[in-house]
Chains A and B, each alone.
Chain A
Amino acid sequence: MSKYLSRTAMGMLMACAVALPAAAADLRIGLQDDADTLDPTQSRTFAGRLVYTSLCDKLVDINQNVEIVPQLATDWTISDDGMSAVLNLRDDATFHDGTPFNAEAVVYNIERGLTMPESRRKSELASIEKVEATGPYQVTITLKTPDASLMSQFTDRAGMMVSPTAAKAAGADFGLNPVCSGPYKFVERIQQDRIVLEKFAEHRDADKYHFDKLTFLPIPDSTVRLANLRSGDLDMVERMAATDAAPASADPNLNILDVTSLGYISIYVNVGNGPRAETPIGQNKLVRQAFSKAIDREALVQIVYEGMAAAGNQPYSPTSPWYNKDHPVQPRDVEGAKALLKEAGLERVQVELQHPNNPVVAQMMQVIQAMTAEAGFDVTLRATEFATLLSEQSQGNYELSRMNWSGRPDPDGSIHQFKVCGAPQNDMHYCNPKVDELLNKARTVFSFEERKPLYDEALAILADELPIIYLAHEKYVYGLNKKIEGFELYPDGMIRLANVKKVD
């Protein structure tokens, strides 16, 4: 018997020894939701971006401090008048199908983003007049207007380079079989089940990538995602629910990490979009200020997000260099709020607040309902399914609406398109020529020192007029098996796998 046992044990050990190297070379990542089409030009989901980070190299990337660093472009210069940019490209990159990466490919990709009818990148690339290859590994971009955010657009999908050969052949169906130049290449996808990538051996940095195969598994239920991580079926999960983070931290086999995102959680106020803007809160900034004052943001992030969000009152989080420190997050002030309402000649204010119908958001809005009630607001909550909420918002059929923004590395991306008169995301129909002037000017100057005072001035006006009431900045929470080493956090929430290893 004991002989049998020891033989079995030996056998198992040997099996482990044989199996381990293979297992160590696989990484299984649990996603909160499934990606949409895997074409960077057409895609629009966060989950998709997580996959692209390994699949598609970009012209430039960001570092952990949200500064732009080279990726496919080695260096770049912007002309003094800001009307053109010259990008020098690396000469040692190839696409997964063997197509060489060069200036022609960049020209093709940028034009694809600008002209493909299905493109979702047009707003991001809107400032580009034309793009030309001015050398085998050099492109020159001519702009319609100076655009300080141009290079930052290339840190995300607008800067992802796809193989021109594959893209021309597949047209709008490119996403079914994406071909890029990243450290991993596409193998297969089963919708709502998995996306599999394998290592691209010819990648210039192949020795920095230690996994042979990546599997992304969409598992929508956060508890189940965590259960898979704990049982060892997954190595890593992203966007863990705040409620799961605390119990998961107690597990000695897991590492729980978080990073404050570039985005924000906010409430839009309909100040000019159709007849429903004709409300006290839509017409009188004092009422909006009172509403904002009545909210205890610190308590909100503690109660609803269990600390996995940072209180905020601007489009940029308090840790961002772009944050206007002259207008810090204020503590709750119910008396101050009542005084403002009194100044506005009002006792109680009726207002309807629409919000997406998910439990965490609903809870957050209920807390706000209770907080503002003490200051004199009778808030009616209207839980709305998300697609409906979006169209109600753009049609102006709302008074207050709870919205998120995923954020952009450049400050412009989180403010200009929401606050400028007639801008595409300005569902509030907020319009202030002074703000327009400042935000437009901030696009035309390039140094931090020149741009910062312009944003500060605009933020001061916006903090007074409050067309958007900012509440908080979500954190990206990751759960990792302790065996995973070398994972670094980035404020854009992406999973960058260079130098990440699984050790036993």
Chain B
Amino acid sequence: MIPYIARRILIALPTLLIVSVIVFLLQKLLPGDPVLALAGEERDPATLEFLRERYGFNDPLVVQYFRWLGHALVGDLGISLRTNQPVLELIGEKLPVTLQLALMSMVFALGIGIPAGIIAAVYKNSVFDWFANFVALSGMSIPNFWLGIMLILLISVNLGWLPASGYEPFFRDPVRSLQTMLMPSFVLGTALAATIMRHTRSSMLTVLRSDYIRTARAKGLSRREVILSHSFRNAVLPIITLTAILFGELMAGAVLTEQIFAIPGFGKLTVDAVFNRDYAVVQGVVLCTAVGFLFINLVADVLYGVFNPRIRNAK
């Protein structure tokens, strides 16, 4: 297993490099002068020139890129043009927020999606299937921002059960932290649950039709054992992949949901940084997200092995 993981990490390095080049170039292709955005209502030419020089915008692109890379390699991702805060510190601030939101959303997504998918497959074309499909389609079609605002109005304003928005670090006040994250993670989770449910259902249907399931049934195994141990265990592989991808997307930040619930995560940070042409922040966050994405996919690959001995034992 360890050589396998090591190999995967080695493969990941060039990917990260390519990601960083692409993000860097895309940002530079954006129209708009970062210095004008930075200067605000001040148009003093000397100040503009100083800012241009200070952030190295006068240098050729290649120089700018390698300077960034050189610093990044020793753990310095630069400072935010907007607030002068080191980018690494910003990422450290936002990462726990985004991680907590992503984890809690996945709990909702998997907790709803997988059982609903299994039930829909086992009771195919029944009322259960129809109902699960209905819920799934609704989850996919209702926009997050609308559901978010409706929940805030209902749960916070009318009923007063949960705080309307905001964030509390988990280790400062765990109860309030969970309370503030409940609605946003539900909003995100239900949308993902729909996708997971649809995949679980179709994956289960394929497995349920296969010969070994018929054999298992013929052997007289209980229905529960056939569904959970024999069918689901095999059906779960594509769902792991899907979960990894969805989780990776969550780690990039859920812009709209963060905006609605005023959660200080990656999404809001990135969008603000793009609008302010805060290059260092965009670059740093994307790099961090890419690392996260690769890591989650690695975890998914390892989990494959756990669920499927054939993969685990393959040389």
Chain B window 137-170, contacts with chain A (Cβ cutoff 8 Å), 1 for yes, 0 for no: 0000000000011001100110010011111000
**A194 neighbours in B (Cβ, 8 Å):** 166
Q: Cβ of B82 and Cβ of A36 under 8 Å apart?
A: yes
Q: Cβ of A193 and Cβ of B167 under 8 Å apart?
A: yes
Q: Cβ of A230 and Cβ of B157 under 8 Å apart?
A: yes
Complex Cα distance A217/B164, Å?
Answer: 12
Q: Which of A37, A173, A231, A417 contacts B157 (CB 8 A)?
A: A231
**Given A387-B275, A390-B37, A227 contacting B153 (CB threshold 8 A):** yes
Q: Cβ of B37 and Cβ of A217 under 8 Å apart?
A: no
Give the interface segment out of A90-98, A218-226, A428-436: A218-226
Complex Cα distance A19/B125, Å?
Answer: 56
Q: Is B64 an interface residue (CB 8 A)?
A: no
The residue of chain A having its C-beta at the shortest distance from the C-beta of B90 within the complex is A191
**Given A227-B152, A231-B160, A388-B32, A424 contacting B83 (CB threshold 8 A):** no
**B37 neighbours in A (Cβ, 8 Å):** 386-387, 390
Q: Cβ of A424 and Cβ of B166 under 8 Å apart?
A: no
Q: Cβ of A390 and Cβ of B275 under 8 Å apart?
A: no
**A192 neighbours in B (Cβ, 8 Å):** 264, 268-269, 272
Complex Cα distance A122/B44, Å?
Answer: 7
**B34 neighbours in A (Cβ, 8 Å):** 387
Q: Is A58 an interface residue (CB 8 A)?
A: no
The residue of chain B having its C-beta at the shortest distance from the C-beta of A119 within the complex is B47
The residue of chain B having its C-beta at the shortest distance from the C-beta of A423 within the complex is B43
Complex Cα distance A386/B148, Å?
Answer: 27
**Given A227-B153, A392-B31, A118 contacting B51 (CB threshold 8 A):** yes
Q: Cβ of B32 and Cβ of A424 under 8 Å apart?
A: no
The residue of chain A having its C-beta at the shortest distance from the C-beta of B277 within the complex is A387
- Chain A's interface: helix, strand, loop or mixed, by majority? loop
Q: Is B60 an interface residue (CB 8 A)?
A: no
Complex Cα distance A123/B43, Å?
Answer: 7
Complex Cα distance A228/B37, Å?
Answer: 31
Q: Is B131 an interface residue (CB 8 A)?
A: no
Chain B window 250-291, contacts with chain A (Cβ cutoff 8 Å), 1 for yes, 0 for no: 000000000111101000110010011100000000000000
Q: Is A233 an interface residue (CB 8 A)?
A: yes
Q: Cβ of B163 and Cβ of A233 under 8 Å apart?
A: yes
**A172 neighbours in B (Cβ, 8 Å):** 84
Q: Cβ of A385 and Cβ of B36 under 8 Å apart?
A: no
Chain A proximity of B40: nearest CB distance (Å): 3
**Given A117-B54, A227-B157, A385-B32, A190 contacting B40 (CB threshold 8 A):** no
**Given A191-B93, A233-B163, A233-B164, A221 contacting B42 (CB threshold 8 A):** no
Q: Cβ of B166 and Cβ of A217 under 8 Å apart?
A: yes
Q: Cβ of B264 and Cβ of A394 under 8 Å apart?
A: no
Q: Is A342 an interface residue (CB 8 A)?
A: no
Chain A proximity of B143: nearest CB distance (Å): 13
Q: Which of B47, B90, B259 contacts A221 (CB 8 A)?
A: B259
Q: Cβ of B36 and Cβ of A191 under 8 Å apart?
A: no
Q: Is A213 an interface residue (CB 8 A)?
A: no
Q: Cβ of B33 and Cβ of A37 under 8 Å apart?
A: no
Q: Is B46 an interface residue (CB 8 A)?
A: yes
Chain A proximity of B37: nearest CB distance (Å): 4
Chain A proximity of B7: nearest CB distance (Å): 38
Q: Which of A175, A191, A388, A389 has the most CB of B within 10 A?
A: A191
List B30-64 residues whose CB lies under 8 Å from chain A. Answer: 30-34, 36-47, 50-51, 54
Q: Is B206 an interface residue (CB 8 A)?
A: no
Q: Cβ of B47 and Cβ of A175 under 8 Å apart?
A: no
Q: Cβ of B269 and Cβ of A233 under 8 Å apart?
A: no
Q: Cβ of B275 and Cβ of A218 under 8 Å apart?
A: no
**Given A44-B39, A120-B40, A121-B42, A390 contacting B32 (CB threshold 8 A):** yes
Please list 18 pairs of residues, one from A and one from B, whose beta carbons are closer than 8 Å in the complex, sorted by A's number: A117-B54, A118-B47, A120-B39, A122-B47, A172-B84, A176-B85, A191-B93, A192-B268, A217-B262, A219-B166, A221-B260, A224-B165, A228-B164, A231-B156, A231-B164, A387-B36, A387-B277, A425-B41
Residues on A facing B (Cβ under 8 Å): 34, 36-39, 42-45, 117-123, 126, 172-173, 175-176, 190-194, 217-221, 223-224, 227-228, 230-233, 385-392, 394, 406, 417, 424-425
In the A-B complex, list the 5 residue pairs whose CB atoms are closest, starting with the nearest. Answer: A44-B40, A424-B43, A387-B32, A193-B264, A120-B42
Q: Known pairs A39-B84, A387-B275. 16 more at Cβ < 8 A?
A: A42-B84, A117-B50, A117-B54, A118-B51, A122-B46, A175-B83, A192-B269, A193-B167, A221-B259, A227-B153, A227-B157, A231-B156, A231-B157, A232-B160, A386-B37, A424-B43
